[in-house]
Chain A
Amino acid sequence: MFTFTVARRYLFSNPGQTALLIFGVALGVTAFVFITALIQGLAIRLTDELTANSAHVSLEPAMRIARVLPGEDAETASVAIVSTFQRPQIRPWRSTVALLSTQPSVLAISPQISGSAFVVKGETVAPVAVTAIEPSNLDAISPISPKIVSGDANLGTDGILIGARLAENLGLSAGQPVLLRTDRGIDRLLTIRGIFQTGVQALDERVAYLSIQTARPLFRLPEGVTNIEVKLVDPGEARTTAAFLQAATGLRATAWQDKNAYLEGALVAQAQTGKLIQAFSLISVLIGIASALSLSANRRQGEIGIMRAFGVSRSFIAAVFVLQGLLIGVVGASLGCFSGFVLCFWLATLTKPDGTMALPIAPEEGGYVAVFLLTTFGAVLASVIPARSAARLDPLEAIQQ
């Protein structure tokens, strides 16, 4: 293709300027890749941290609502009262667990009794949220065993696990007895089997773990459970799975995204900010290409004029400039993708003293295909204006200049 040869020669005629132009494009693309990988990495880290330590779908008893049904002659009246006559619980929890176990999307199931209680030591009383679970399922939803800093995670029949902050506040240590007073008014002396430290103050100060067998009499729930927590293979499928489970079990199913709506909002806002930055870096790249090619078209007016004089078509001239844009776009975008990946990969290896990543960056999420296509297409688009102006040059005027 002769137009390609001419375009290539034009680019190579001023290697310094062409290299600078390609460097500018590559730099813009690198910035795009970096921002994309950083934003995606941050979203992945936040999501992972949240989904790794919490249930993806929570099943709770359906809301029991008392209604007044209208008689045949009576006017319709709508009354709905949340019933407090019966305690909300899931009685047929074993059949629900059995159903969940057949779902390939389900990774782990944890039936629980959740309630409020006080830890009492002498005159000091501290409120705690109690989570009672099957001891074998202790780590199914939120891994507690690895976070035990004193004692062990073996709950037994009279054991309790408390957070480090609570232990510190009450001067408690592993192996000591402690009195637990539940919201049902039942007291029981339990042994602190282990003390955990999650790093989250609210958990380390306000959460305690019991075995489900220990909790039954304490919360007067001889048969049922208060909730069933479910972990999925793919946390992204939580909403779909929740809808399915709600329909299949009649229980209230809540996906983790709906429990943490603030996070989703923050991630969306962050992604939008990132898109703005990406757009600006692309626009600056395209302006650079357009202005460089416009200058080239201006500088080559005489040559273009003589080409037009001896009968070279306008489309040939336009194609030469569009191809220059394409070449700059392809080479610049390729180099930018490569340098962006190398930069992100290197940043991903940097760690803080505690061994965690210094930057939450995901090199594999740099949006390489998107930025390559956008830059290449944009470069072609940016070259259209100089290409049109070159093709429209009046040969006589161009030669006389």
Chain B
Amino acid sequence: MSAVLDARGIGMTFRNGDEMTEVLKDVDLSLEPGELAALLGASGSGKSTLLSIVGLLLKPTTGSIEIAGRRVEALSDAERAVFRNQRLGFIFQFHHLLPDFTATENVAFPAAAPAGGISAAMRSRARDLLARVGLSDRMDFPATRLSGGQKQRVAIARALMNKPELILADEPTGSLDRVAAEQVLDLMREVNLEDKATFLICTHDLNVAARCTRRVTLKDGRVEQVVQG
């Protein structure tokens, strides 16, 4: 089975005036379909930068990235946007739901925006996803009337809307209380097991990492350790 993600020799250098900061150095990372991987490391280790590069939100200085069999590091801005929309899902620490839309509309948004509207099929899938994340009774609630945990569950459903090959999560439980965080982690694990969805979760939280099948630790911009199981 071919890898969902195959990143080789990723390097990232930021220029700040005359000063050059090398954040990532020759990082290799590969994920098989259905993996639930944690990206660990101290602040400044480069894990968020790596996640952004894999999510096509940043272009690496060096290296190659293949996602679902396609080389993506040289794509144009517009091509990257289309690729993100069709092949990747995002879950951020802050859900950033659209406050003027209902839970269903928020979930359907990634499919609706390029299509020019929410079709009946999109609405139906969005409602199925919301039911799956336990929000059957909140489907038509405006995003502003949901709790923090519920919002993050809507964000997970939104990430799944376009059936992505790879879901990238950046501190997905970082802004939640313990109970809500557990529920979100359970949900992600469930989606991972049932849908064979591949997750790459960037986290500080060892409890989150413990739930993952693989833990990749970064230190000073390099892969320090990979723990399987």
Give the B-binding residues of A (Cβ under 8 A): 1-3, 5, 9-10, 12-13, 302-303, 305-314, 316, 395-396, 399
Contact = CB atoms under 8 A, between A and B. Distances in A.
B224 to A, nearest CB: 24
Contacts of B115: 2
Q: B85, B88, B92, B96 — which one has the most chain A CB atoms within 10 A of its CB?
A: B96
Nearest to A5: B117
B143 to A, nearest CB: 10
A311 B96 contact: no
Given A312-B114, A396-B58, A306 B96 contact: yes
16 contacts: A1-B116, A2-B117, A5-B117, A303-B96, A303-B99, A305-B96, A309-B57, A310-B110, A311-B83, A311-B88, A311-B113, A313-B78, A395-B57, A399-B92, A399-B94, A399-B96
B112 A311 contact: no
Contact of A311 (B52, B92, B94, B110): B110
Contacts of B78: 313
Nearest to A3: B116
B82 A311 contact: yes
B110 A396 contact: no
Contacts of A396: 52, 57-58
Interface of B: 52, 55, 57-58, 78, 81-86, 88-90, 92, 94, 96, 98-101, 109-110, 112-118, 158-159
B92 A306 contact: yes
A10 B100 CA distance: 7
A114 B94 CA distance: 92
A306 B90 contact: yes
Contact of A312 (B58, B81, B86, B89): B81
A19 B94 CA distance: 30
Nearest to A301: B96
Contacts of B82: 311
Q: B82, B83, B113, B114 — which one has the most chain A CB atoms within 10 A of its CB?
A: B113
A277 B98 CA distance: 41
A309 B117 contact: no
B81 A13 contact: no
Contacts of A316: 113-114
A108 to B, nearest CB: 66
Contacts of A1: 116-117
A283 B54 CA distance: 46
A395 B168 CA distance: 15
B121 to A, nearest CB: 15
Given A309-B57, A310-B159, 14 more contacts: A2-B115, A2-B118, A302-B94, A303-B98, A307-B98, A309-B55, A310-B109, A310-B158, A311-B85, A312-B109, A312-B110, A312-B113, A316-B114, A396-B52
A307 B57 contact: no
Contacts of B90: 306, 309-310
Nearest to B77: A314
A2 B116 contact: yes
Q: B88, B89, B109, B159 — which one has the most chain A CB atoms within 10 A of its CB?
A: B109
B81 A311 contact: yes
A278 to B, nearest CB: 36
A172 B208 CA distance: 114
Nearest to B58: A396
Contact of A307 (B52, B83, B109, B117): B109
